[in-house]
Amino acid sequence: MPHTIALAQCGSLPDTTKNLKTAEYFIHQAANAGAALIVFPEYFMYPCIGDPTLYVNHSQSIEGPFVSCMSGLAEKFGIWILFGMNEAAPKLRQDKCFNTLILLDDSGILQGTYRKTHLFDAFDWHESDHTAAGDVLFSPLETPFGKLGLGTCYDLRFPELARSAALQGAEIFIYPSAWVQGDMKAVQWKTLLTARAIENGMTVLGCSQYIKDTFIGQSFACDPFGRVLADADESSQLILVPVTPKDSLRARHLVPSLKNMRNDLY
C-alpha cells in the first residue's frame, strides 16, 4: 500500500517566527492530504545566504525554541516532520555551526538527527568556512512509511551514503537540499537523484529550497525502477509523492546489485 510523503518546496527567511508560520501552512495542507511525512528543505530554520556570520549567530540547539515549536506542530497535526536547521555548536568553536536535519514523529518526539557530512566547498561556495562537518552517517530508521535513510544536498554527489543506507535495508532515501542555481545544475540534480534510486533499488526524494536566482526548487522523486514520481517547477509549492516501500524488495529481486557487489575488489 502506498504512503504519501509531502515535499514543502519553499524558501526561508531571516525571521524564524515567519518560517514557523510557513511550516504550519504547509503542514496543515499535508495533513489534510493524508501525508505520513512532510519534508522541508535544508536551511529551513534560517537561510544560509548573504553574511554567514548571521547564519551562525542565529543557530539554536536541538532543545531550542524552533525545534520545540516544530515538535508542537507535528503533535498538533499528527504528522512526521523532517527539516533542516543551523544547529549551535558552542563546544566546538564560536564561528561555526552544524547543518543538521531533524526528524520528528507524529507525536512530536525526536526520532533522529543528521549533521551534514559533506560540506559544499564547490562552485565558488565555501560551506566549511562557517559550518562544521558531521562525522556520523544517519542510520536507517524504521518508520510507518518505510525504512528511511537521510542525506543533505551536496551529500547527493557521494553515492557511498545512499549505498551504505541501502545495504542496511533502507527503502526510502531523502535529501533535503538547497540546490544552488547554475549552468546544468538542474540536470545534475535530477540525474543524480535518479541514479541513487536505480543503483540502490530504493525510492529517492529530493526537496530543494526555492529562492529566485539562488536555489532551484525543482524538487524531484524517483522510484527504484526509474519512474518519476514528482518533478516540480520553480515556485513555492507542496508536492505530494506516492511512495511504496515494497517496491525496493521487487527491484532488488529483479536486479540484485547489492548482492552482486564485488567486495573483494572494492
Separation of alpha carbons 173 and 110, rounded Å = 18
Separation of alpha carbons 222 and 34, rounded Å = 20
Separation of alpha carbons 50 and 56, rounded Å = 12
Separation of alpha carbons 79 and 56, rounded Å = 29
Please confirm, yes or no, whether 42 is among the known catalytic residues.
yes
The one catalytic residue among 97, 116, 171, 207: 116
Separation of alpha carbons 18 and 136, rounded Å = 31
Give me the phi and psi of 119, to 5 degrees please. -85, 145
In sequence order, the β-bridge partners of residue 208 are: 177
- Altogether, the residues listed in the chain come to a count of 266
The one catalytic residue among 153, 171, 207, 222: 153
The one catalytic residue among 42, 87, 127, 171: 42
Please confirm, yes or no, whether 75 is among the known catalytic residues.
no
Amino acid present at 87? E
Please confirm, yes or no, whether 91 is among the known catalytic residues.
no
Active site residues: 42, 116, 153
